[in-house]
Amino acid sequence: MEENHVNNFALRYDNNHLSYCGQDCNRIPTALQKMYGPKVKYLDLSYNSIETLKGLEQFNRLEELILDNNKLGDNVTFPHLPHLRTLSLNNNQITDLEVLINKVNEHFPSLSYLSLLSNKACPNQLSDLDKDESDYQRYRYFVIYKLPLLRFLDSRRVSASEQREAATRGEFMRVRRPPDEVVDDLNRSQLSQTQSRRPLPVDFAALGKHKGAYGKIHYKYTGKHSEGNRFIVNNDL
């Protein structure tokens, strides 16, 4: 879809909330930046093909940013958004956890809600069949260590015990990024798997209405055959 073209039928704006989903955009349309940037506090761009966040700096009042089901990778750059509290990046193409977390830490000083499900950087069943709960817990300790203000990570509240453990051991829990040639093999394997399974649900009737991946937990991720509940209602925060 052209950068400057906006499908008005897909656009929803109400009370500082802007949704523009399912339009196969590879970047944020310039028209949205100019018309809504200074007003918006909640921005949902899910189910597009976004590869770059150029223009996001125009949304300098953002408090919530939902970018699920796009094509953002390790080279993504973020503007400084001092008010951002919620960032949802589920089902993108992020493989290097430490690089991403360093960017988040630098550019989003108020962040307290983060979700990375179904990225290679998040080692659980949604992204890698060979990972289990122990791999996922190590990842949580590392992220919580790097981002001590987090209240929720993925679909689970950060507990007091996790905060204590992360403070003492989190620095040593880095999830190592495989060499580039291995990443290429993993990407090819992941593409083959995603042709036969869909890691996150696609409900086009609900586009622009979801709230990311935070709130009350109905299911807990416990190993190689469970996904957990990624949706959380804001009333439970």
Q: What is the pLDDT of residues 18-55, one digit of tens each?
A: 999 999 999 999 999 999 999 999 999 999 999 999 99
- The per-residue pLDDT for range 170-224, each reduced to its tens digit, is 665 665 555 555 445 555 555 555 444 444 544 445 555 555 545 443 333 334 4
Q: From CA 208, how far away is CA 70, in angstroms rounded? A: 14
The reported pTM is 0.74
| 135 band by pLDDT with thresholds 50, 70 and 90 | confident
pLDDT above 70 coverage of the chain, percent: 67
How many Å apart are CA 94 and CA 122, to the nearest integer?
9
DSSP assignment of the chain: --TT---TTTEEEETTEEEE-SS--SS--HHHHHHHTTT-SEEE--SS-----TTGGG-TT-SEEE--SS---TT------TT--EEE--SS----HHHHHHHHHHH-TT--EEE-TTSTTS-STTT-TT--HHHHHHHHHHHHHH-TT-SEETTEEPPHHHHHHHHHHGGG---PPPPHHHHHHHHHHHHHHHTT--SS---GGGTTT---S-S--SS---STT--------GGG-
Give the pLDDT mean for 75-92: 97
Is pLDDT above 90 for 14? yes
pLDDT at 16 exceeding the cut of 70 = yes
What's the chain's average pLDDT?
80
When comparing pLDDT for 96 and 126, which is higher?
A: 96
Q: Is the pLDDT score of 115 beyond 80?
A: yes
Query: pLDDT tens, 140-177?
Result: 999 999 999 999 999 899 999 999 998 887 665 665 55
Radius of gyration of the chain (CA): 17
Domains of the chain: 11-236 (3.80.10.10)
